[in-house]
Amino acid sequence: KSSDEQCKNLLHFIPFQKSSSSIWESQGAFRYSLVKWTMDMLYASVGTAIKVTKSHKQRQNSIMLPITAAAAASYYALVGPSKRSAEFVSSEANDLIRNAWGVVSLPAIKTLSLQASRLLKGAAIAERIKICGVSCFILSKNPCPVLATAIKRYRRQQQRKLSRLSTILEYDESSSQRAVNINDYPKKDVIFHLTGGGFFAHTIAGDVPYLLDWSSATEAVVICPEYALLPEHTFPIAIEEITRVYTALVTGSSTTLLGLGFRVDRIIVTGESTGGNLAASLCVKLCIDGLVNVEELTNVKRLRQARDETLSPSTSLSPSSSICDSEDNFDDDPSQGNARGMNRLPDALMLCCPALNLSLELSPSRVLGTREAVLPSSLISTISDAYVHNLQISKRDPIVSPYYAPDEILRIFPPTLLYASSEDPLLDDSVHFNARLRSNGVDSDLRAAQNLPHAYWGLGTAGFPEARKVQRECEKWMVKQLKEHP
C-alpha cells in the first residue's frame, strides 16, 4: 500500500473526538493529565514549603507551611510544576507524604466530611464511635433504629464521663462481662472498609460519598476504623488494631453488641491502596495467628467442590455417598459461622490498587509507573521503609506483604474482586496475586481501568465517568456476594 493509504488506515485508530473538543487526545487521557498536573502542583508547592520552612523547629504546626505552599502554588501555576514535583518526590518523600496527604486526615476535615454527608448525601447515620479502643466511622444511608439508639446511648455515656457526674451508667465495664443473649439482637450486613493514605493518612474524607452509595445499594452498615498511622506507629500496630476490631465484630462480643445494637451477619472487607494491603493482610493474619481453623476451612471447601461436582445435572446423588455422610460437617461452615465466639474469614474481599507487595523488587509496571500521577514509584520505597521500620522483620512476611502468602492460605480466601489501573505502578502485583488466587480455586476476578490514577475509587464523586462506572460495578458485585452468602 502507498504511504497515503497507510496513513488513512492509522487514522482509524485515533480516538473519536466530539465536535466540541479541541484537544488532540481522548477525553479520558485529558482527565488523567489534569489529575497529573494537580498532583504535581501539590507535590511541588508542599515540597517547596517544606524546604523553605526547614529552619523552623515546629514547622508542622506553623502557619508558615500553608502560606508558603500557597505562594509556591501561584508560582508553579505559571512556570509548570512537573520538574520540581519529580525532584521533591525523590528527595523529600517522607515529609512530602505526611504533609501533602495528611491534609485529608486533619480532625476538622474528617468532622466536616461527616457533617457534609448528612446534608449532601442524606446519610441516616454518620458518626464516630470507638470499638475496642479504635475510633471508627459508622455510616448508613438507610435508617437503622437499633444502631441509632446504641449510638445515642454511647454519646450519653461519653458526656457523663466528661462531666464526671456520679451517676449510674447505662452500661459499663462490668455490664459488658455479663451474659448477653446474642439472639436478642437483630442481624445486619456490614462493609468493613480500610481506607488508603500510604499508612501516613486516612483518606476517609474522600471515601465517605461512595461509601454511602455502597450502603444504600447493599443496605449494609459501613464501618471504617481509623487505624494507627506513621510515623509514630509502625508495623504491626495498624494490622493488630484492625484485627482486634474485626474479631470483635464477627464474634459478637458483649461490648460490641451493646455499642452497635446489632450482630454482624455477612461482612465484606474492602480496601484501597495501603488499605488494600491491610484488608488482604487481615485474611492472612487470621489464618497465621490461628484465629480461624485453616485445616477445617480447607476441608469445607473441598466438600463444597465435591458436592457441586456430584450435584451436576448429569449425575445423581446416592443417599449412601460420602458427601451425604459428610453433610453435617458441610453445613457447619466455619467461614460462615455467626455464633458468638466463632471467628471467621470475610464473606468477600474487594480491593482497589492494593499495595500487596511492599518489597522493593522491580516489575514492569513499577518501572513504567515512575511518573504516575498519585503514587510515583519512588514513593513506594519510602512508604515501605517507614512502615517496616524494624530491620528484623522481612518485607516478604505474608502479613506485611500478602503477595507472598502461601498457597494453603490463599486457597481458602473468600471471593475476591481486584480493581487496578493501567497506569498504576502496583498493577503487576495485582495481576500476579489474582492469578495465584485463581490457580488455588478461589473465585477471583481482576478488572483494570484505563486513564485513571492510583486509588481512583473516590474520583467517581469528582465526575470521572470511568470511576462512576467502577462504582456501579462494585455495588452490583457486593449485592451479589451478600445474596449468595445468606
Which has more confidence, 484 or 165? 484
| pTM of the predicted protein model | 0.86
Residue 60 grid cell: 508542622
pLDDT digits (tens, 9 = 90+) for 94-135: 888 988 888 888 889 999 999 999 888 999 999 999 999 999
Q: What is the rounded distance in angstroms from the CA atom of residue 209 to the CA atom of residue 191?
A: 14
Q: What is the rounded distance in angstroms from the CA atom of residue 420 to the CA atom of residue 274?
A: 13
Of 251, 454, 464, give the one whose Cα is nearest residue 353.
Answer: 454
Percent share of the chain, pLDDT over 70? 82
Phi first, then psi: give them for residue 229, nearest 5 degrees.
Answer: -115, 160
Across 8-22, 134-148, 314-328, least confident range? 314-328
pLDDT digits (tens, 9 = 90+) for 25-59: 678 889 999 999 999 999 999 999 988 887 655 44
Q: What is the rounded distance in angstroms from the CA atom of residue 299 to the CA atom of residue 303?
A: 6
82, 41 in Cβ contact below 8 A?
A: no
258, 175 in Cβ contact below 8 A?
A: yes
pLDDT digits (tens, 9 = 90+) for 129-166: 999 999 999 999 999 999 999 999 888 887 777 665 54
Beta strands in 159-253 (DSSP E): 187-194, 221-225
Q: Residue 386 has what pLDDT? A: 95
Q: What is the rounded distance in angstroms from the CA atom of residue 266 to the CA atom of residue 246?
A: 12
Bridge partners (DSSP) of residue 192 are: 223, 269
pLDDT digits (tens, 9 = 90+) for 467-479: 999 999 999 999 9
Q: Residue 15 has what pLDDT? A: 53
Of 456, 432, 439, give the one whose Cα is nearest residue 356.
Answer: 432
DSSP state at residue 18: -
Q: Which helix H or strand E contains 358, and what residues bound it?
A: none
Radius of gyration of the chain (CA): 25
pLDDT range class, residue 337, cuts 50, 70, 90: very low
Using a 10 angstrom Cβ sphere, with 0-12 exposed, 13-18 middle and 19 or more buried, the burial of residue 109 is middle
Three-state SS at 445: strand
pLDDT digits (tens, 9 = 90+) for 438-465: 999 999 999 999 999 999 999 999 889 9
